[in-house]
Amino acid sequence: MTFQVTLALLVLLVALTAFCGWRGSLPSQPAKGVRMIPWRPLMVACAALALLMLVHLVNLLGVPTGR
């Protein structure tokens, strides 16, 4: 992936992480029914993918990571 695509994905994933964190922190409303979207696991998955994109971005900048 190119630098621009990686950066765009990183920004998108960070925004999705923040959105899922906000939605997951809202109190439940039993009168409306159960939540159909598991916001907390989605937040964790987006954060993990954002971390991968950050490492890839650092690799594209020429900093060696790993062995």
Q: Which pLDDT score, from 0 to 100, does residue 65 have?
A: 84
pLDDT of residue 9: 97
Assess if residue 67 is contained within a domain.
no
Query: Is the pLDDT score of 32 beyond 90?
Result: no
Q: Give the domain extent around 17.
A: 3-27+34-60
In a domain, 66, yes or no: no
Residue 46, in any domain of the structure:
yes
Instruction: Kindly report the pTM of this predicted structure.
Output: 0.86
CB neighbour list of residue 39: distance below 8 Å, 6 or more residues apart = 20, 21, 23, 24
Residue 65, in any domain of the structure: no
pLDDT of amino acid 30: 86
Domain count, the chain: 1
